[in-house]
């Protein structure tokens, strides 16, 4: 869908195009959270003080903010995000929503070199300051097209149904703010793009939660290479992974969730595993339902209440996820179960 939207001539990027593009942006932001959370939760308690845990934890909060900003972009032009819909919720393993990076399969598994490579491919910019350039439809390029459509149709921005959430302790770029002008939209898209991809000249995240924080792509590549990214030349500017070592944390050996979930993928599921899977999927589905209701609300008080409900459901996910990561798969591989992130009928 995104690839098709990008092929539409710019002069035809009207209100309907923008609504469809922003719905895809919402799904795209949502799609990044399950794989990153699986990697985060698989880090053992003994390694929670590592820089790797803090880095991925901050990226997760960035992506949550990006999801909120994408929803505000859609509602400010009179649209309504569809989030709690089994037909639309990202499924794993599978492609990113809308055909971004069509060659990439996104799966749910524990933190490893392989999953880190997958994370960084999700975030890869068109023209990175390190490693080879690839020709693909990047997330950043998609948001650039959205920004230009807003620029040409600023009259569509009405400021309706804007949800606001201060993300205290996560940097100035992480607040979900109301978008009531083109300047507001432009600032939001700049944050989304540069937190994920950096800039054409620098790998730095210009809106960091902590000083010196890199953009998501470069943060994931650092962990993948096991070395800090440093400037090795000033004129011309050149960067390489030649800095201090970054040791991989100890992790729980979560296996890769098969298509449709463990049981649907032919893996034997005990009553204990089923209990944890059901609990997780219900909390996840309720989370999505509350998010959708937050951006449907006409009153800010109702929107804030539903967002608080969603945050409450979010806090219930880690427990069953890590219980699953402690139960070995029956195939003798040494791998464990993990959360499925399947949408089921929500309890709301």
Which among 229, 251, 273 is the end of a domain? Answer: 251
Measured N-to-C along each axis, helices 113-123 and 216-225 cross at an angle, to the nearest 10 degrees, of 160
Strand partners, 214: 204
Both 111 and 258 in one domain: the answer is no
Given a cut of 80, whether residue 283 has pLDDT beyond it is: yes
* Cα(7)–Cα(72) distance, integer angstroms: 25
**Residue 103 binned pLDDT confidence (cut-offs 50, 70, 90):** confident
Both 44 and 110 in one domain: the answer is yes
Both 261 and 330 in one domain: the answer is yes
Both 301 and 157 in one domain: the answer is no
Share of the chain above pLDDT 70, in %: 97
Given a cut of 70, whether residue 348 has pLDDT beyond it is: no
* Cα(157)–Cα(185) distance, integer angstroms: 9
* Cα(274)–Cα(37) distance, integer angstroms: 20
Which among 234, 251, 268 is the end of a domain? Answer: 251
Write down the pTM of the prediction.
Answer: 0.94
Which among 204, 233, 251 is the end of a domain? Answer: 251
Both 137 and 271 in one domain: the answer is no
> What pLDDT was estimated at residue 347?
52
Both 273 and 241 in one domain: the answer is no
* Cα(69)–Cα(37) distance, integer angstroms: 20
Both 169 and 265 in one domain: the answer is no
Per-residue pLDDT tens digits for 313-325: 999 999 999 999 9
H/E element holding 110?
none
Whole-Å CA distances, 42 to 14, 57, 100, 254: 43, 12, 26, 7
Both 204 and 312 in one domain: the answer is no
| DSSP assignments along 270-299, one per residue | -HHHHHHHHHHHHHHHHHHHHHHHHHH-SS
> What pLDDT was estimated at residue 242?
96
Both 221 and 84 in one domain: the answer is yes
DSSP code of residue 245: B
Both 183 and 45 in one domain: the answer is yes
CATH number of 160's domain: 1.20.1260.10
202 vs 302, more confident:
302
Both 155 and 259 in one domain: the answer is no
> What pLDDT was estimated at residue 178?
97
Range of the domain at 322: 253-348
Cis ω for the linkage preceding 257 (within 30 of 0): no
State the total domains in the chain: 2
* Cα(348)–Cα(346) distance, integer angstroms: 6
Place of tokens 């900003």: 69
> What pLDDT was estimated at residue 165?
93
* Cα(347)–Cα(283) distance, integer angstroms: 8
> What pLDDT was estimated at residue 135?
61
* Cα(303)–Cα(75) distance, integer angstroms: 13
Both 273 and 244 in one domain: the answer is no
* Cα(110)–Cα(336) distance, integer angstroms: 9
SS3 call for 220: helix
| Degrees to nearest 5, angle at CA 115 with 97 and 227 | 125
* Cα(81)–Cα(94) distance, integer angstroms: 22
| Degrees to nearest 5, angle at CA 340 with 263 and 281 | 100
As given in the structure block, the two tokens for residue 22 are: 């922003």
| Degrees to nearest 5, angle at CA 95 with 179 and 138 | 50
Per-residue pLDDT tens digits for 220-258: 999 999 999 999 988 888 999 999 999 999 999 999 999
């Amino acid at each position: 869908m995104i690839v098709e939207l990008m092929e539409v001539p710019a002069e035809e990027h009207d209100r309907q195009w923008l609504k469809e593009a922003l719905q895809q942006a919402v799904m795209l932001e949502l799609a990044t959270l399950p794989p990153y959370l699986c990697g985060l939760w698989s880090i053992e308690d003994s390694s929670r003080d590592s820089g790797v845990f803090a880095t991925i934890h901050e990226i997760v909060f960035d992506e949550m903010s990006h999801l909120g900003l994408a929803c505000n972009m859609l509602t400010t032009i009179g649209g309504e995000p569809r989030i709690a819909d089994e037909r639309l919720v990202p499924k794993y393993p599978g492609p990113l929503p809308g055909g971004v990076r069509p060659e990439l399969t996104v799966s749910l598994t524990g933190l490893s070199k392989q999953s880190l490579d997958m994370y960084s491919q999700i975030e890869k910019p068109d023209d990175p300051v390190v490693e080879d350039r690839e020709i693909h439809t990047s997330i950043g390029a998609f948001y650039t097209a959205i920004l230009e459509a807003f620029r040409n149709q600023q009259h569509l921005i009405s400021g309706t149904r804007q949800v606001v959430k201060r993300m205290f302790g996560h940097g100035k770029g992480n607040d979900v703010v109301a978008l009531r002008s083109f300047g507001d939209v432009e600032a939001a898209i700049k944050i989304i793009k540069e937190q994920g991809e950096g800039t054409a000249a620098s790998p730095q995240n210009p809106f960091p939660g902590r000083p010196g924080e890199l953009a998501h792509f470069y943060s994931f590549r650092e962990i993948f290479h096991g070395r800090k990214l440093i400037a090795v030349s000033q004129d011309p500017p050149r960067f390489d992974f030649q800095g201090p070592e970054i040791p991989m944390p100890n992790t729980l050996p979560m296996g890769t969730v098969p298509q449709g979930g463990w049981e649907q993928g032919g893996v034997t599921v005990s009553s204990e595993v089923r209990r944890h899977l059901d609990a997780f999927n219900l909390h996840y589905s309720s989370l999505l339902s509350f998010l959708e209701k937050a951006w449907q609300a006409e009153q800010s008080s109702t929107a804030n209440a539903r967002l608080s409900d969603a945050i409450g459901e979010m806090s219930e996910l880690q427990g069953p996820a890590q219980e699953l990561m402690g139960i070995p798969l029956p195939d003798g591989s040494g791998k464990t179960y993990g959360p499925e992130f399947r949408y089921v009928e929500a309890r709301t």
